[in-house]
Structure 1
Amino acid sequence: MKKNVASFPGLLLKEGKIKEQFYLTIKELILNGQLKSGSKLPSSRTFSEMMSISRNSVLSGLERLIDEGYLIAKKGSGTYVASLIPDDVIHIKSLPLHKKTNNGKDAPNINPHMTVMKNIWDITAPHAGSHMKFNIGIGCIDLFPYELWGRLMGRIWRQFRHQDWALNEPLGFKPLRSAISEYVRTTRGLNCTDEQILIVNGTQQAMNLAAQVLLQKGDEVCLDEPGYDGALGAFTSIGAKIRPVISDKQGMDISYAIKHWPDAKMVFTSPSHQFPLGGTLSLSRRMSLLEWAAENNMWIFEDDYNSEFRYTAQPIQALQGLDRHQRVIYAGTFSKMMFTGFHLGFLVIPENLVESFKIAKYYADTRTSFLEQTILATFISEGHYARHVRRVRKACHERQRVIIEAIQRYLPEIIFAEPSDSGIHIVCWLSDKISEALMIDHCRKAGLGAQPLSRYCQTKPEKEAILLGFAAHSPTDIVEGIKALAQRLAQSPALLHGCDLKQ
């Protein structure tokens, strides 16, 4: 509805909600100078009668303009246009662009390591949408007890103003640290006290803190090959030299690392479930690594991101629990067990490093969210987390079996899915009939978020493979996803004629 009011020149309401259009029209008149600073506006009743609109719509628009600083209400006098309006305060002239270098590119004065990190990002950044099936790194989000979590949140929110905020120091919420300490001692075999626990915003922050506290520019860091791209980025960002160490079914080859990189200052490893291949670091290699670290004053960053997803074998003793020389920094996470967007994790730090990590955490972000920590502390201490872990572990074992059987049924000559007794993704080795790039292309067109193995390699892998996450989907959805991929591949002209798809 449009209304033109002759007695108030320029006043025109456009289509839309009346109160919104009244607000926008008056604001525009102020900004273009038709309503001068200090001008008195008609009363709300007058506006209403002039425009044949509800007085409530007028009042709503005027109140909003007053709140935003465009108008001033003077008691007993009326409403006036402000002498200094917000847009005058924030408006500045556009600054000239920086001069270009001879090659025509901007030359900002930034950390040169960012150039290296950009190269890593270009290679390793995920290229799958979050809506796709089989994205890796996502747990059983369909099984999370959202209603229970909501009730806990409501209860804790009602008590929130009575909570002791002093309990949330840079190391983290004390009751949560206590609950985690007790849990990891009994389930993961760690040797720690509450005071060694540091709450972090996920594993990525944990790695960044470790790099900041323990490494200097030029220090050598051993990383699995293939290995976790997040670690590659974190340690590269501070100027460390990444030293790739080959991995096999027994995890990182420690003897190779000792022989080729004797001066390493840190080893980053996932002993319970090597990423991305899934090997478990053998006991002999664990002991060799600990001995090497003790003799050379080297640090071990133990990323235990997947230990709770172990299905058939007994839990593996954490490196931290075997360490007798305080050389292991242990990182754990809740993100895989909880829900998408939940990024709380924790570090178990050697006693003589606690103060340094506490300072680094403080200057990173002061402290982690208080409310999330209090809810998680209750979730753990009341036994809900342990029950959830048991339920998820059972479901993931079933889902892994289903995806392997579906691949064997629908793609037997194209993919070999390697079984594993742990983890929430599987490695699918490709036959010589198809290239990794072409397989990923078919996966994307089938709506699948598969990742290429090459994404996690610093050198070209000897054999090509893709990674498929399975934990977030029901058995029925898993089968449908594999069938969709098989149908796409079956329509490929090369496959229909028995040709090599690498051509």
Structure 2
Amino acid sequence: MKRALPIEKTNIILDQHAAAPLYRQLYERLRAQILAGQLEMGVRLPSTRVLASELGVSRNTTALAYELLLLEGYIESRVGDGTRVARLQSSLLRQAGKSVKKPSRQPGVKSPLAQRGQALLDAERTGDIYSEQATSGTNPFRVGQPDVTHFPYELWARLVAKQARQALPDVASYQHAQGYLPLRAAIATHIGITRGVQCTPEQLILTSGSQGALDLVARTLLDPGQSAWVEDPGYMGARGALLAAEARLIPVPVDEQGLNVEAGRQLSSSARLVIVTPSHQFPSAVTMSLGRRLELLEWSRAAQSWIIEDDYDSEYRFSGRPLQALQGLDNSERVIYIGTFSKVLFPSLRLGYLVVPPALLPGLNAVRRLIDVHPPLLEQLALTDFIVEGHFARYLRKMRAMYLERRNTLITALTQELGGLLEITTPEAGMHLVAWLPQDMSGEYIIKQTTQQGLPILSLSTYSLRPLQRDALVLGFATSTPKELQTGVQKLARALRGRS
């Protein structure tokens, strides 16, 4: 009888700072070794407990990796016989191995991608689960998407057509890199009133959504290898922009008050910049306390570092008086404010904006001109009318009331169906909430169970670079009707109660 394989022979190294969760890294490494023949058919693998001890990870991590391998037929598990590499047919093994083999590097042939390009490709692969779940029409709890079914498309079409006939011929030549000035003026007025942002239209730069804003800032302010704080758990798009700039990511924990500034200081006191979502942290949904905001501002002033404030969905606040934007509290001109219309109106309207300190304008404009000169103009013209004529404010009021009803419906349904199992937080703003799992329950395992039953939801650990002491479900409520949310919760309850 073959003995269990000593873990040293697998040469497995897991990266706590990689974008991929640890269980996924372990699964991919074991799968690759099985397909390559490094782990021979029939060989007995260590138990999940032993493997976890050897790798220095939680047992949930090894159990999830084994579960995926078992489901796909790469390993077998029998009572009294442990876990062994499955006896795959050699032809199937060779065929499967082709799909996971890295392209061979012939002598003298360069890789087609730069290191940053490969890093972004790897990050995108680990984010596939997010993309599929976020866009899946079968998921009642889609995260990060607004309801686009109630947008006044006929009104928008009339505004676009009017501008195409009347104004576009006069502005058909190249425009200023910062974007259409009347739109910048309308935005400056709006965020000055609603968010306390202190700026002039000349400080605004229009971008291709918030992602374009993050990319522009990262390109302009970061040198390769410089440190940047990121919220952990946090927004994958922010990490992607930093990876594209070849920054060194410093995952800083988030607690009930938001980003833990003291923890950030201990990890990297002189980081070049930090990206935060203080109004409605993504994905934990907490609001950064005033004390933490002032602490973060003081750190940036002392360290001469930049704060990137991503205010992605602050328009949808349901209760309480919103805390003033960080930018409005900043007396040292260290905050760069980001807003977007993609989350508020509809995602394919790729329009966002930056509010930047005057000292940064020349550099950002220079980089902007080399990237894409300026955003398409026709949508800027139509959006200007949409705001100035009052349609924007009316639409916000309508959708805010609708999202509030859906949030309350989801909370009520979760409380009735799963109140004894999940700890549900009530977000004061935004389009999603967090439902905390019991301390000993694995989020990854629950996600796998629900996905198998046609309910592809997300866990908090999906967005985390470090292992979490406690996981949670991240549940969007903006895209589904109250009835769809109630049905989704019933399906979720069946999946959770049926777990083995």
Q: TM-score range by the shorter chain?
A: 0.7 to 0.9
Aligned letter for 1:190? V
Residue 318 (structure 2) pairs with residue 311 (structure 1): yes
Would you say the 8 A contact 2:438–2:470 is kept in 1?
A: no
Q: Decide which moves more: 168-177 or 124-133.
A: 124-133
CA distance in 1, matches of 2:454, 2:154: 30
Residue of structure 1 in register with 2:469 after alignment = 462
Contact 1:188 1:318 in 2 (8 A): yes
Partner of 1:117: 120
Q: Is the 8 A contact 1:172 1:368 kept in 2?
A: yes
Superposition deviation, residue 134 in structure 1: 1.5
**Which of the numbers 108, 113, 119 marks the counterpart of 2:111?**
108
Secondary structure at the residue paired with 1:217? Answer: coil
Alignment of 1:57-76 (within 5 A): none
Deviation at 1:112, TM superposition (A): 1.6
Matching residue of 2:136: 130
1:102: how far off? 6.2
- Which residue matches 2:457? 450
> Which whole-Å CA distance do the structure 2 matches of 1:209 and 1:199 have between them?
11
Query: Match for residue 294 of structure 1?
Result: 301
Q: Which amino acid aligns with 1:392?
A: M
**Structure 1 stretch displaced more, 472-481 or 343-352:** 472-481
Counterparts of 2:487 and 2:446, CA distance in 1:
17
Name the CA distance, whole Å, in 2 between partners of 1:358 and 1:338.
26
Shift of 1:226: 0.9
In the TM superposition, 1:139-288 aligns within 5 A as 139-165=146-172, 168-288=175-295
2:439–2:469 contact (8 Å) kept in structure 1: no
Secondary structure of 2:332 counterpart: coil
Matches within 5 A, 1:480-495: 480-490=487-497, 492=498, 494=499
Label 1:433 to 1:242 Cα distance change in 2 as closer, same or farther (>3 A): closer
1: CA distance, partners of 2:335 / 2:416: 44
Q: Which sections of structure 1, spanning at least 5 residues, go unmatched?
A: 1-98, 495-500
- Could you tell me how far 1:414 is from its partner in structure 2? 3.8
Tell me, what secondary structure is at the counterpart of 2:309? strand
Give the Å deviation of 1:119: 3.7
Question: Measured at CA, do residues 238 and 280 of structure 1 come closer, stay the same or move farther in structure 2, by a change above 3 Å?
Answer: same
Q: Which position in structure 2 is the counterpart of 1:393?
A: 400
Q: CA–CA distance in 2 between the matches of 1:261 and 1:483?
A: 45
Find the aligned partners of 1:222 and 1:488 in 2 and give their Cα distance: 37
Residue aligning to 2:435: 428
Distance in 2 (CA, whole Å) between partners of 1:258 and 1:408 is 38
Q: Hey, what's the Cα distance between the residues in 2 that align with 1:219 and 1:346?
A: 25
Tell whether the 8 Å contact from 1:136 to 1:469 is kept in structure 2 after alignment: yes
- Counterpart Cα distance in 1 of 2:124 and 2:300: 30
Range 219-228 or range 112-121, more displaced: 112-121
In structure 2, list runs of 5 or more residues that go unmatched: 1-102
The secondary structure found in structure 2 opposite 1:221 is: strand
Residues 123, 154 of structure 1: CA spacing in aligned structure 2 closer, same or farther, 3 A cutoff? same
* TM-score when normalising by structure 2: 0.74
Matched position secondary structure for 2:149? helix
Q: 2 CA distance for matches of 1:433 and 1:285?
A: 30
Distance 1:170 1:417, change over 3 A: same
Paired amino acid for 2:267: H
Secondary structure of the 2:321 match is coil
The Cα shift of 1:260 comes to 2.8
Size of the aligned set, in residue pairs, is 394
For the Cα contact (< 8 Å) 1:134–1:468, is it kept in 2? Answer: yes
Cα deviation, residue 455, structure 1: 1.6
**Alpha-carbon distance change, 365 to 234 in structure 1, aligned in 2, over 3 angstroms:** same
Q: Deviations over 1:426-471 (max 9, x none)?
A: 1122236853234223433454442221221111111122211101
Deviation readout 1:374-420 (Å, 9 max, x if unpaired): 11111011111111111211211111110111111223344332211
Larger Rg: 1
Corresponding residue SS for 2:436: strand
Native 8 Å contact 2:105 2:111 kept in 1:
no
3-state SS of the aligned residue for 1:378? helix
Please name the residue that 1:375 is paired with: 382
**CA-CA distance at 1:333 after TM superposition:** 0.6
Cα distance in 1 between the residues matched to 2:382 and 2:292? 38
What do residues 212-263 of structure 1 show as CA deviations (whole Å, max 9, x unaligned)? 1111011110111111111111112222111111111111011222233111
Q: Deviation string for 1:175-198 (max 9, x for gaps)?
A: 111111111111110110011110
Q: Which range moved further: 105-114 or 225-234?
A: 105-114
